[in-house]
Amino acid sequence: MAEPRNDNESSSKVPLHEQDPEKYSGSSDSSEDEIDGQNQEDLIRQMLRMKLHQGKSRTNEDLAKKKSGKVKNIITMAGAGISTSAGIPDFRSPETGLYNNLQKYDLPNPQAIFDIEYFEERPEPFFQLAKELYPGQFEPTPCHYFIKLLEQKGLLLRHYTQNIDTLERVANISGDKLVEAHGTFHSSHCIEPKCRKEYTQEWMKEQIMRDVIPTCKECNSVVKPDIVFFGEQLPDRFFTCLVDDFKICDLLIIMGTSLTVQPFANLVDRYIVKTLN
């Protein structure tokens, strides 16, 4: 989320849901249905069929490998597009995009709401927004259950997500299979560097829902969900998993991201093309 846009997007990187939104976004009804085994199988078939039709020869080869059972280590990468059908606004979509709906917070600029320096001075706008969008009010989409199915089949090496909505965890994707590249609401920490006391999602939720600025019991500093703000480092886990994972990845599935947001954009160029060749 909340990272500066890099406009060097190439058409070959346009994700499935953006190429044909009606066909790919999934209806809100489907996200409310219980996804049974048959629906999951159908979903996989549909997604692979669509992937096959995207035209790249490597995709055909990948599918053939998948059918022959040679694919064993699948990496999935996901962005906001897999959660928009759950009702979570994409940060950059016109009209519904979050950055276009922040006037009420009286910010110096829209991105200030995720700027760590601004947050340290004035945390109220972030927590007001967090209350509106708090995880737990939304249901996972078929895409999330597709990733869970890959895990159940023993095929998921890792799921890299740019999303902070925790819908992967709601879909019961195991924590060790997840890399939440832009952080998560799953845990929170005191922002005072000498303290860094950890707090649970339940505790944070209670504070936010009561319209209280969460403060540390030890040092009285503000406590912030572990989502990555501007001016903050990505989680260590992102970098540690990255190197080993892409050495053994034999199929990469990219969903719901146009790969214009770092670090995913660079990731594909630097690691994945080389790895899959």
Check binding of 219 to Zn ion (CB under 5 A). yes
Q: Is 133 in the site for Zn ion (CB under 5 A)?
A: no
Name the residue nearer to Zn ion (CB basis): 194 or 274.
194
Choose the stretch contacting Zn ion; rule: CB under 5 A; options: 69-77, 129-137, 212-220, 249-257. Answer: 212-220
Site membership for Zn ion, residue 190 (CB under 5 A): yes
Residue with tokens 């998560």: 184
* 60 or 215: CB nearest Zn ion: 215
Q: What residues form the annotated binding site?
A: 190, 195, 216, 219
Q: What is the widest separation between alpha-carbon atoms in the chain?
A: 58
User: Considering only residues 44, 47, 71, 195, which one is a binding residue for Zn ion as defined by CB under 5 A?
Assistant: 195
Pairing of strands 223-227, 183-190: antiparallel
CB of 193 to Zn ion, least distance (A): 10
Q: Tell me if residue 182 is catalytic.
A: yes
- Write down the H helix ranges in 20-80: 21-24, 28-32, 37-52, 57-68
197 binds Zn ion (CB under 5 A): yes
In this structure, what DSSP letter does residue 235 have?
Answer: P
Contacts of 4 (CB under 8 A, 6+ apart): 111, 230, 262
Query: Which residue among the candidates 53, 182, 186, 189 is catalytic per the annotation?
Result: 182
Identify the residue among 216, 242, 251, 253 touching Zn ion (CB under 5 A).
216
DSSP states along 171-212:
TT--GGGEEETTEEEEEEEES-TTT--EEEHHHHHHHHHTT-
Going by the annotation, the residues of the binding site for Zn(2+) are: 190, 195, 216, 219
Nearer to Zn ion, 56 or 196 (CB): 196
Regarding 192 and contact with Zn ion (CB under 5 A), the answer is yes
Residues interacting with Zn ion, by CB under 5 A? 190, 192, 195, 197, 216, 218-219, 221
> What residues are annotated to the active site?
182
